[in-house]
Amino acid sequence: MNKIVSAVALCAVGAEKIVSNELRKLDLKVDESLYGRVRFKADIKGLYQTLIGLRAADRILLEIGFFKAVDFDELFEGTGAAAWELLVPKNMGLKVVKVRTNRSQLKAETSIQSVVHKAAAQRLCGKYKMNRLPEDGKAAEVRVYIEKDMVSLLVDLCGEPLFKRGYRSEGGVAPLRETTAASILLLSGWKRKFPLYDPFCGSGTIIIEAAMYAWDMAPGLGRSFAIENFLIADNKTEQTVREECRGRIDFSRLVRIAGSDEDTRSVSIASSNIARLYDIAEGKTPQRGIRLSDIKTHGINVKAQPMSKASSPFPASESSALNSKPSDPSGFIITNPPYGKRLGDQSIAEQTYSEMANLKERFPGWKLALITDHSGFESFFGRKADCCREISNGAIPSYFYEYALLL
């Protein structure tokens, strides 16, 4: 498939600009940015580049149909006119897994789901001379978005969501999604020339996403995708993209990244997750049970320590050595502190936020960026954020707070 097609990158609400920027860096044309999704154009190589290379996107969907429908007859006709047989093979079933409609005359989601499935199945059965689609085995997962009466029929090319990178053996309680961690890193403005510290590192998601970004390591190298089950699959192109991505990884870059957590088990998990990055980079199957002492570390350090004892692991002279502007921070604290839903006790979370105010004494001149579900974080921290924006972490509406300098 060398032709240009339309596709959609799903992402956290609040991360649309980040995903748009990532797509442009891949030289892909962005058509529009919507609520939690970005429409773009790509050829087959571009689709593989997005699947393997995007850091902040949760899914990549191929748009197989786009048309206007104000009633169910038009919905059925438009769906049946889409060339499903160019994507879905004969031995594959089809499921409509999600319907969303906004400011449109078609509103009944269950009925929309039924009509789309019936029309697509009728088209495929007619093309393949079958009475019905297979009900067992692999199935194309379809999503339907209707916005202002314009219907977008989308087929998932991922399988597992993109936040499942392959390096995580297990997470802590309510772990931060990898794609959300990447989003807040990019939103914060962090670059590898700055030290980075996470005092609530948990299983290491933020520091690992930072390391991959600093090394220019594509996040999807350690996994496969559902696109391989479709007729557009191109193994040669996929391998080319993977080789190009591996060729850009540079472990020799100076990286000053550290994390700590009071939970020793979480620190052990973080250490193992970090170690698996090297296997992924080399195309090996990630191993389990790797000890901290086994890590071929390149400036990444994790240890068991409560936030109350956190201090910069980087000398002040080293922290500012690479900074290009006097106004630059000495480093970045980027973190996901424990919160009410995660702890099961809102008062403990609020006490933690109050104790975080002491970070300014131990990290003077650093920037603080954090994500939490608590809309009142600022009042407990004791200072209004320089910037606050809403961003989702999975199904949890959250807030991203930024403090330009801790003084």
Q: Give the burial class of 148: count Cβ atoms within 10 A of its Cβ; 0-12 exposed, 13-18 middle, 19 or more buried.
A: exposed
Per the model's pLDDT, the better-predicted residue between 155 and 318 turns out to be 155
How confident is the model over 21-48, as a mean pLDDT? 96
Range 166-180 average pLDDT? 76
Q: Among the listed ranges 87-91, 228-232, 320-324, 355-359, which one has the minimum average pLDDT value? A: 320-324
Over residues 288-299, mean pLDDT: 44
Q: Which region among 28-37, 69-78, 128-137, 311-320 has the lowest average model confidence (pLDDT)?
A: 311-320
The per-residue pLDDT for 314 is: 83
| pTM assigned to the model | 0.91
pLDDT in the model for residue 295: 41
By percentage, how much of the chain surpasses pLDDT 70?
90
Q: What is the pLDDT of residue 288?
A: 44
Whether the pLDDT of residue 168 is over 60: the answer is yes
pLDDT for the residue 17: 96
The chain-wide mean pLDDT, for the chain, equals: 90
Q: What is the pLDDT of residues 175-214, one digit of tens each?
A: 789 999 999 999 999 999 999 999 999 999 999 999 999 9
pLDDT category at 170 given cuts 50, 70, 90 is low
